Structures are given as structure tokens and as C-alpha cells.
Structure 1
Amino acid sequence: MTIMITGATGQLGNMIIANMLVRVPATEIIAGVRNGGMSATLKALKDQGGEVRCIDYDRPETLQKAFAGVNKLLLISSSHNDDTVRLTQHTSVINAAKNAGVEHILYTSFAFPQTGLKGSSNVHRLTEQVIFDSGMKYTILRNGLYIDFVNVLGLQEAIQSGVLTTPAGDWRFNAVTRSDLARAIANVLAEKGHEQRIYELAAPRTWTFADLAEVLTEFAGKTVIHSEDVSVQHWIYPFLSSIDTGSTSKDLEQLMGQPITSLKKSIAPFLN
């Protein structure tokens, strides 16, 4: 069995490979990278007999050769900011994988894309359809909202002032950490099965801004309250309104085999 992870120099890809190295022999793992960058994880992979190959979504003529001998391929979605380009890149990878004889393709989609037609969720649904139409065995890994979005909410300012201020609304969040996603995805890659499955890798329960203020209170050692203000404006709020942040799923915890990281531990890296 040979497993390739594309986007291996990105945060998620790098974490997945780190988890894979404790699950399967390095000789079964191929890291797909766009450029020559080499993280400590990729160096460890090579030192243990794994392989690193150049995978450039923008050079479709090179992809089929790069996928030679691969049984399972994890397509980590492109980070390009133009969705038309992203879909073209994804389609090139999927077609090349099929032509190269890849048996099973896995794709990092976005959680609950069926609930709306806005923004990036659309390119994910379209990519999923290309995968379904390809006839290959598939697993769709619909990643939840990254917890990283809290980094633009002014957490340090809230601790200093004692007030976390946000726009009014019934905000609820199913956000998760990359490390939890990486653990779950690595387990899926390392195990047999999971074909023709779609997993919603979001949190099993939501939290609110009031919950976030309570956690900030623990960090601050003083009370931090949540306050609503209609005048608060930031690009993050229209984005959050355009996706499903309120639906929940048990898939992530089940695939991890353990509870997800708590809200307190999840936001700690953004308070250092």
C-alpha cells in the first residue's frame, strides 16, 4: 500500500504526515510538495525511507507521472484565492489520479457545504461531484471551520479591557483544530475501509461568544464579559455568516478515537 498526501508542506498536510509516521511504515508514505521546502517532518519521512515528490496543481502534464504507483491519494484542497482556478486545479489532480491508476482518492472538503451556495463551499461541492463522476473509490473529509478564526476577534484586547465585543446575533461555532483534523484524517488513511463515505469533521457540540468570554476569564484571572454592538464590523463576520457554523457531527471524535480539543486548549496558542 502506497499513500500520497498532497500539500505536504502546508500546516494540515505536515500534521497529517507526522501522525502517519506513527501509524504506518514511512516506506508506504509519499509526500507531495509544490516546491523544494523541507520541514522537519518531511526530513524525518525521508530519513525513515519515505518519499517526497513534486506535485504542482498548476502543471497538470506532470501529475499522472507523479501519481505512478500510488494506491491512496489524499487531495488537500488548493489554497488559491480564485475558486475558478481551484476547481481547475482539483479537476486536473482527479483526472491525473484516475489515469495513473489510483484506486482510492480522499479529498479535504468543507463541512456541511449542502446548506448554502455561497463562497468556498461551492467549489468544494463541485470538486466532490468531479470525484463522484470519476468512478474511483472515494472518501470525502469535510473539514470544519478552523479554530484559527478567533485570532482576529481581539482576544488580547478583550482580556485587557474585560469585554469581548461582537456584532449581535445568534452566533454558534463548530470550529475545530488542525491537529484534531490531522489525527482523524491520518487514521482514515492508515486504516482499511472508509470507501464511499462522507465525513463531517466538525465539532460534536457548538460554543458561543459567551462561552469564549468565560474561557478568556480563566486565562485573564479576572472577569471578561461578552457584549454585543451593532457597530462592530470586520470581514470575518460576513464570512462566518456565509457558512454553516452551527451544525454538529460525531464523525471527528469517532475517527480520532478520543474527544476533540477543548475550547480553552484550542485558543491558547492565540494568546501567547
Structure 2
Amino acid sequence: MGTKKTVLILGANFDNVAGMESGVAKAFRQLNWNVIALSYRKMFPSNLFMKVDEAYAKGIDLVLVIKGERVDPLQTFPRASVPKAFWFQDDVRWSKTNWALFQTLFPYYDYVFYFDQSGIEWMQDKIRGKVYFLPLGYDPEVYRPRSKKRDVCFLCSVVGPRLEVAYILKHRYNALVGWVGDDYPKLLAETRIAVNWGLAFQSTQQRVFEAAGCGCVVVTSWVDEKYRVLKTPIYVKDLEHLTKEIDELLVDEEELKKKAQQIKTESQNHTWKHRVLSLLNQIQGGDK
């Protein structure tokens, strides 16, 4: 075996063991990489610069920045021949702030990854350079099946078009609704049907992978077939379609169990480890 490689990951917060940053860092370790993880939201810029310099001095093989809204590439990274990758996981079409941030940071990285193929197509004539498709994922050690205690949940920030969805689910099914903090993985896994509702555009959000990993039947807002990262969730076009699908599942226990198993099986190929392997294959041609 050769010398272990080292990745420097800059993310918003590595304290949340159920979050993307922690899952990605764990995946690198599972692939036998040394990991230096820096939470940029918890540091003053001067402290971040110092920690990055220390990492470069020790020797690193790859830099990965996740979103990076507080990371100035020009000031943060020494001029060294270390590949710098940028993984942006927020929808650039929903928020003008996200789009402005993406446009600002994009030119300073060697490899840019984005979670939504339809978004890449939307931006391709607006920027110069290559953006690689890299979906989101989940940590199977955190998001795993548990004994089911409720029928329906809708665990997310309830804003915009989600307000009506939340009202209907709460009053029709007594669904668990809203953001639940640190208990999110447990409460999600204890639910038979997990509803996801995108705010605007066709993308497979992280909640879909997490719910699938928990063995929930996932009912989610419509995504055109060519953009579906997961094929087994139930995709619905409107609220009438949503309630129809839930009603049918709740009166057919066998179909509910069958669908849950199909989704769980498919999710096993969509973990953070799978995503990191794809990222490394793109950057290093399969050199892991």
C-alpha cells in the first residue's frame, strides 16, 4: 500500500454528524484518506487562513470546498499546485444570492461540482468552463431503518409553497411537520411515508436520499424522468396527486412494504462514499 493521501475539506459545520460535511469527511476516511476538516463558519478569517497554511505545510493532495460562502479562494489558498474542487449544493435558480455566489467562486477552482443536472443545463450558456454533475447523498450509518411509529412526515423548513403542503399533511394525516433539529434522522426513520416538496426547480434534494436510506416510502414533488437520480420514489405533480398516492399507500400494507424495500435497495448506491468515489474518479482518473 502506498502513502495515504490527505484532503483538506472546508465546510460550514462538521459538528452535525448527520450533515453533508460530516458524511463526506467520513467517506474520505473510509477510502483510506487522511482528512483535515475545517468549519469555516466557526472561524474568523485570520484563523482560517492560519489553519489552511498549516495544512499546506503538512502536505495535502486535494482541497474540497463545500459551498464556501465565507471562503475567499484568492486569500485562503496558497499558490500551490494542489487541485482545488468546489461542490455547490444549493439551487442557483431559487436564490439570486446563491447564483451570485456561484458565479463569483466558480473561476477560482480547478473542478466544480453541482448537484442538479437541470441546473447545469440552465447555467451552461451563462458561465465559461466545465461544471460536473455530482448528486447529493446520505450516510447509511446515520440514516438507517428503524421501527415505524407514524404514517407521514414532512420534515423541512416550511416556507413558500410548502406552507399549503404542510397544512394539508398535518390536518389530513396528523403528519409530523417542520424542522426538528438534531432528532431529524431518528424521527425520519420512524416514519413510513416521507414527503418532500421542492421549492421551485427539478432537483433531487438531500432529504430524498436520507429518507430512502431510512426505508421510508418517499413521495416527492415532480422531477422529469431524465433528471431523476432515484427512480423508485413516487413523483407527484400537485397536491391532489400527493394525497391520492398517500391514501392508496395507507390502505395497502403490502404495497407500502414493497415500495419501501425498493427505495431502500436503490438508495444503497447513493451514499456519500459513492459520491466521493465519483469525485475522485473525475479529478484523478480513478486514482483513489
TM range (shorter): 0.3 to 0.5
Using structure 2 for the length normalisation, give the TM-score. 0.42
Higher relative contact order (CA closer than 8 Å, sequence separation 6+): 1
Using structure 1 for the length normalisation, give the TM-score. 0.45
